[in-house]
Structure 1
Amino acid sequence: MAISLSNSMRGALYTLQQNQQAVQQSQLRLATGKRVGSALDNPNSYFRAASLSSRASNLQSLLDDMNQASQVLQTTSKGMDSLKSLIQGAQGLVGKASQAGQNNTLTGTLTTPLKADAKVVADVGMATGKLLQLSVAGGTAVTVATLGANTTVQDVIDGINGNTTLNPNGSGTSIRAALVGGNLQITSSSGKTVSFKSDDTDANLQKLLGAKTVEGSAVAVAGTAFVDTTRKSLSSQFDEILKQIDQTIQDASYNGINLLQGGDLKVTFNESGTSSITVKSVNYTANGELGIANSTNSFISNDDVDVASANLKRAIDKISSQAAIFAANQTVIQNRTSFTNSMIQTLNTGADALTMADQNEESANLLALNTQQQLAQTALSLASQANAAITRLF
């Protein structure tokens, strides 16, 4: 059955329905913060905003990559700082080796102590008439003793210390011999290679000096180089630092990228990939690209120390130069990071301007609509009461 409404009731009901729709719309805008939530609301604004938001999202992905690239370069920078610190430590060791001077000692290894008055022939066991000779740096052999029946160990020592060819500046000033702990000990203040020779047999010479077992322990017929224990210790520490340099290089990696070990870094700045930068890596090792060789001859000579010092300086200069290149790349990436971040904010602001609702405006609208709704409900109620009154007249 059809229900007939008066014009006044129909008008009040229509107003109430329209008002309710407007209330729901305002409530939705307040809840979502958007005045354009779909293409049905405003196709032009919706799709333009979607395009801007899409580009902002793409740039955000690129921005994340840029930030990660900055972390790679920061890791590399810290790694290079560590390398510099290690090299400076090595320079300190080389400086100490240089300051230590050269005072290289070689000691015999006899288990039965020699005595100064022991006769080299009768007591020690070498042959009569044989020569004991020293040569410096491969030079001409200098005779320090011709063994006779009465030649003592002290005579051999005096023959070395007093020899003016070996010690032109005075007794024992360059090559000095002494009996220390029951063994013949020979010291070179120049750090040059010294050979102790004899025309006697190896076996007989070893009765005077002991068998050569380790570097710097004793002398064989062919002679041996002296080793400065202080410089040898410093050279061992030097070589250990070189190992630490290589390990630091290996550890200077971030997210699988190591700019110090041949891992190039490419950073893309725009969505099309037409703007980018490739950070070229280096391939460092202490003995390789950095050119720091391990200590030579235990730093026995000043020449070895000077070579190490020069190598370290070149390595520091190389690292500093490369650090400047990486820093320039970092500056480019940081600038593009800042620009991209600004672009993302601009795009999001533009998208919001097309779709976002004014919260203050929508709140005021909702308040007004609620008031209108109450008025419409009152009008509908009054119209209904008027119709009822007319009905009672019949």
Structure 2
Amino acid sequence: MSDVTLNSAVRSNLRTLQSTTDLMARTEERLSTGKKVNSALDNPSSFFTAQSLDRRAGDLSNLLDSVSSSVQTIEAADNGISAISDLVTQMKSTARSAQQSDSAIAAKASFTSGAITGASSSNLLGAGAEVDGTADLSAFTAAAGDAGNLVINGETIAIAAADEGTDVVDKINAKTADTGVTATLGDDGKLQLSAKAGETLEVGSGSTAATLTALGLTAGTTNSESGLTGKTLEVTVGDGSKKTITFGNGDGEVSSLDELNKALADSNAKASLTSDGKLTIETTNAYGSSDLTIGGTAVSTDGTAAAGEVFDLASSASTTAEAVLDDDGKSTRQDYVNDYNDLKSQISELAKDASYNGVNLLNGDDLSVTFNEDGSSKLEIGGVDIMDVLSLDDIDIESFLDSSKIEKVVGKLNDALNSLDSLSSRLGSQLSVVETRESFTKDMIGTLEDGSYALTGADTNEEAANLATLQTRQSLITSSLSISTSQEQNVLQLIQ
């Protein structure tokens, strides 16, 4: 107050008291806020720098919530994939169970030939050239005049004196094995020579006449009676490729049941021969429900019985045979079909539930994860339609009729499982990226907040010590002020 005159001592103490009060107010503010810079007036450079750091930390903190939500969205999709994999595995188990159930095939598609004269499992071509001797060799012993050479298919067999009938047979077979000629003694003791079907049997004119007479043979050539040699059989099972087989004794040709089955093996067909020489071609067990189509020059389609046309299809307008289904087996497998389709329908339902916060990566939704405050760093996660990924359709009884068709279903299920594994791997990699960025963002927020505090934070221990000192100083100043006003108090006492 301008009307009040203070002595110099009081005025000095007052100024000191005012300064101390200001310092106490500032110290108390630092203690209450924890900051030594609370406004631009305290330190403009530190205040605005810290404000920028805090603002970025706040922006990243807001993004962190979105990143955390994205982690849950990806995990929800991965959980869905895991559950769908279990369903696909159950579908695969259902298919395998159907494969082991009662057969749905009562009779496989097949064709049976007419009787092939002389056919056997080792000789499908039937009767070949045969020559029968007229002499009884059961008690035969060659005399000196009977010894000589016997020429068969160009091979010379030396018949020695004292050779018995069995010796003659053994010598012939030892020489003619490679020419397809076989010698035996019949029940009547007479020599029998036979060649494979399609082969020629020649008793050569270079044979010794006395030897021929002793064995009851005549020089000459006998041709094969088989008409199957050189004929072809074309076999097709289902939608497979056509297999062409040529009958005969040459390289790559078929003359025995074993050779025929080896040739048919990769065509999913097999052959059998009845005791009366009828050849049957049918589908294998694994392809029991498949159609069987045959053709070739061994097949007659005009009703005529030309040489070697052992399969007669003249009574049918088609060369394709169909399998006969078993009603009981078909009913059993239909139950498995229903179970399979029910499991498949659950995949779609499960995928619809694999969403989080309204985003479903298995139902075609995309997810964009932003990692920084200006949106320049982000990860785009493309969603999929899980049913398109799996490529699985409902099936009907045709898919479960035989093993081959079930194997096709199982193959698709294996492909579906592989696709799920690939999708899970991709989402796992993306989840790893998001989790890494989430951890990085948390660390970055901490770094920014630490930087801001380093610029504006107060040392509360120091400020508490300062406040205690200022409080002591304030008390001392107050006492000093009281002393400074003692002169005025003396005057007051004189007045009183």
TM-score interval for Structure 1 and Structure 2 normalised by the shorter chain: 0.5 to 0.7
Q: Identify if the C-alpha distance between structure 1 residues 72 and 233 changes in structure 2 by more than 3 Å, giving closer, same or farther.
A: same
Task: Provide the C-alpha distance between the structure 2 equivalents of 1:33 and 1:15, rounded to a whole number of angstroms.
Answer: 26
The TM-score, its normalising length taken from structure 2, stands at 0.54
Q: 1:91 — aligned with what?
A: 92
Are 1:231 and 2:232 an aligned pair?
Answer: no
Aligned partner letter, 2:93: G
**Cα distance per residue 1:224-261 (max 9 Å; x no partner):** 76353332222211111101101111111112222112
**Partner Cα separation in structure 1 for residue 102 and residue 366 of structure 2:** 45
1:62 deviates by 2.1
1:363 aligns with 2:364: no
CA contact (8 A) 2:330 2:397 kept: no
Q: Are the aligned partners of 1:58 and 1:271 in contact in 2 as well (CA < 8 Å)? A: yes
SS at match of 1:373: helix
User: How far 1:140 sits from its partner (Å)?
Assistant: 7.4
Matched, 1:318 2:419: yes
Structure 1: tracts of 5 or more residues without a match: 106-135, 142-166, 170-187, 195-222
Aligned to 1:36: 37
1:18 maps to 2:19: yes
In the aligned structure 1, how far is the partner of 2:98 from the partner of 2:476?
100
1:72-151 alignment, distance < 5 Å = 72-102=73-103, 136=107
Counterpart code for 1:373: Q
Tell me if structure 2 keeps the 8 A contact 1:67–1:337: yes
Which residue of 255, 270, 274 corresponds with 2:372?
270
C-alpha distance in 1 between matches for 2:17 and 2:273: 124
Which one has the largest radius of gyration?
A: 2
Amino acid at match of 2:358: G
CA distance in 2, matches of 1:168, 1:293: 42
After TM superposition, list the pairs within 5 Å mapping 1:1-394 onto structure 2: 2-102=3-103, 136=107, 192=289, 226=327, 227-285=329-387, 288-297=388-397, 299-389=400-490, 392=493
Relative to the length of structure 1, the TM-score reads: 0.67
Aligned partner of 1:254: which letter? Y
Contact 2:77 2:361 in 1 (8 A): yes
- Does the C-alpha gap of structure 1 residues 5 and 100 become closer, same or farther in structure 2, counting only changes over 3 Å? same
CA displacement 1:134-170 (0-9 Å, x = unmatched): xx567679xxxxxxxxxxxxxxxxxxxxxxxxx999x
Shift of 1:388: 1.4
Q: Report the secondary structure of 2:389's partner residue.
A: coil
Could you tell me how far apart the structure 2 residues matched to 1:271 and 1:239 are?
Answer: 49
What is the deviation of 1:381? Answer: 1.4
Greater Cα offset, 366-375 or 379-388: 379-388
Whichever residue aligns with residue 42 of structure 1, its letter is N
Q: For residue 289 of structure 1, report the CA deviation from its aligned partner.
A: 2.9
Q: How far 1:393 moved relative to its partner?
A: 5.9
Distance of 2:366 and 2:82 partners within structure 1: 20
**CA shift digits 1:290-322 (9 cap, x unpaired):** 122323316232233212211111100000011
Give the fraction of aligned pairs with identical amino acids, expressed as a percent: 32
CA distance, structure 2, for counterparts of residue 306 and residue 189 of structure 1 = 9
Q: Is the 1:259–1:265 Cα contact (8 Å) retained in structure 2?
A: yes
Going from structure 1 to structure 2, the CA distance change for 1:264 and 1:18 (only over 3 Å counts) comes to same
Question: Aligned partners of 2:18 and 2:354: how far apart in 1?
Answer: 69
SS at the partner of 2:87?
Answer: helix
- Aligned equivalents of 1:266 and 1:305: distance in 2? 42
Q: Which has the higher helix share?
A: 1
SS of the equivalent of 2:390 reads coil
Counterpart-to-counterpart distance in 1, 2:76 and 2:487: 84
- Letter of the structure 2 residue corresponding to residue 312 of structure 1: L
Whether the 8 Å contact between 1:232 and 1:300 is mirrored in structure 2 is no
By how many angstroms is 1:273 displaced?
2.2
Amino acid at match of 1:294: D
Q: Which amino acid aligns with 2:26?
A: Q
Q: 1:372: Cα distance to partner? A: 0.8
Gaps in structure 2 of 5+ consecutive residues: 113-271, 275-284, 292-323
**RMSD across aligned positions (CA):** 2.9
Deviation, structure 1 residue 19? 1.3
- Residues of 2 paired with 1:85 and 1:353: CA distance? 54
Distance in 2, matches of 1:272 and 1:82, equals 38
Which amino acid is the alignment partner of residue 292 of structure 1?
A: L
The alignment covers a number of residue pairs equal to 291
Is the 2:59–2:373 Cα contact (8 Å) retained in structure 1? yes
Aligned-partner residue type, residue 236 of structure 1: N
Relative to structure 1, the CA distance from residue 301 to residue 52 in structure 2 (aligned partners, 3 Å threshold; closer, same or farther) is same
Please give the per-residue CA displacement for 1:303-358, whole angstroms capped at 9, x wherever unaligned. 33212211111100000011111111111111111111111111111111111221
* 2: CA distance, partners of 1:20 / 1:190: 103
Displacement, 1:84? 0.7
Task: Name the structure where strand makes up a greater proportion of residues.
Answer: 2
User: Which amino acid in the other structure matches residue 76 of structure 2?
Assistant: T
